[in-house]
Amino acid sequence: MGVKEYVRSEFDNVEAEIINANKDLFPGTITFDDFLWAFGVLRSRVFPELRGDKLALIPFADLINHNGDITSKESCWEIKGKGFLGRDTVFSLRTPMEIYVQYDLDKSNAELALDYGFTEANSSRDSYTLTLEISESDPFYEDKLDIAELNGMGETAYFDVVLGESLPPQMITYLRLLCLGGTDAFLLEALFRNKVWEHLELPVSRDNEESICQVIQNACKSALAAYHTTIEEDEELLEREDLQSRQQIAIEVRVGEKKVLEQINDIFKEREQELDDLEYYQERRLKDLGFIGDNGDIIFWES
């Protein structure tokens, strides 16, 4: 769901449950454009720590600009008491220096662009959210869903992959669960229910590992094909002097996303070349039982 579609659905809910139900409080007409404007103002003006029951708009303080050089999460404002906003961080300041804050260290460039209208030239801001889902058509759907939920996950899982960083924890584990089948399906039996996630943290079988490599590479290629330009073409566009600021921001975001997709694809392409060198479940199990030595030789026990 895109941002506008999400805001539209929220507006429809608010209109039905609040606005129309309280005409005495909202005598005038509130349109979707009004709601979209309010949504944008709220998203762009609220401070990172002022969320949930602390949500607040604070005039004057919201004029303080973001500075990407601030890397401490404590370098922001917080409510200290009723009607009192403060910042504890000690910093030197002299006239006419400007006060800055860090809007949010965890936001990607795409989120910064949507919420604040700018991006950072920082690779750690370039990310791509990979969405993985247990298919309802999977013959082991119920078992896989149960295992996912037992381990704090669900039918759908979202993994934010950041440029230049390793894959998120549990991503490969979840992928192995998604691709589990065939002769590996025995791990889905109730007997293994409390241990299966631990087994999935390591390679299960060559077929399973090959499947996750192919699934992700195909997904990356499909996502990259959906863009109408290449990274090289986008980088050439960014060199143009007649680009409007909104165009530049959009191109910077999509370049970052493409680079992350290529990074993910390369990780699994390289992994696919190493399948013969990995140790799988059956080999680990035989080692645990003492039937295979550390060097892979079969051990024959004499009676």
Residues 283 and 149 both lie in one domain: yes
Expressed in angstroms, the distance from the first to the final Cα of the chain is 66
Residues 5 and 65 both lie in one domain: no
Count of the separate structural domains present in the chain: 3
Which residue would you say has higher pLDDT here, 155 or 66? Answer: 155
Residues 23 and 40 both lie in one domain: yes
Number of residues that make up the chain: 303
Answer yes or no: is 276 within a domain: yes
| pLDDT above 80 (res 83) | no
Under the banding of pLDDT at 50, 70 and 90, the label for residue 285 is: confident
Answer yes or no: is 111 within a domain: no
Residues 131 and 220 both lie in one domain: yes
Residues 141 and 271 both lie in one domain: yes
Tens of pLDDT, residues 8-56: 999 999 999 999 999 899 888 999 999 999 998 888 887 766 777 777 7
Under the banding of pLDDT at 50, 70 and 90, the label for residue 3 is: confident
Tens of pLDDT, residues 182-229: 999 999 999 899 899 999 999 999 999 999 999 999 999 999 999 999
Residue 145, domain extent: 123-288
Answer yes or no: is 84 within a domain: yes
* 103 catalytic residue (yes or no): yes
Q: Which residues contact 11 (CB under 8 A, 6 or more apart)?
A: 32, 35, 36
Answer yes or no: is 208 within a domain: yes
Q: What is the pTM of this model?
A: 0.81
Beta bridge partners of 128: 161
Which CATH number does the domain housing residue 262 bear? 3.90.1420.10
Query: Six-digit token pair at 189?
Result: 């039996």
Share of the chain above pLDDT 90, in %: 58
Residues 87 and 161 both lie in one domain: no
Answer yes or no: is 61 within a domain: yes
Contacts by residues 66-73 (CB-CB < 8 Å, ≥ 24 positions apart): 66/100, 66/101, 66/102, 66/103, 66/116, 66/118, 67/100, 67/101, 67/102, 68/102, 68/120, 68/122, 70/100, 70/101, 70/102, 71/102, 71/105, 72/102, 73/102, 73/105
Answer yes or no: is 9 within a domain: yes
Answer yes or no: is 301 within a domain: no
Highest mean pLDDT among 58-62, 99-103, 115-119: 115-119
Across the range 89-108, mean pLDDT stands at 77
Residues 260 and 278 both lie in one domain: yes
Answer yes or no: is 114 within a domain: no
Owner of token pair 């390369």: 266
Residue of 6, 100, 103, 281 marked active site: 103
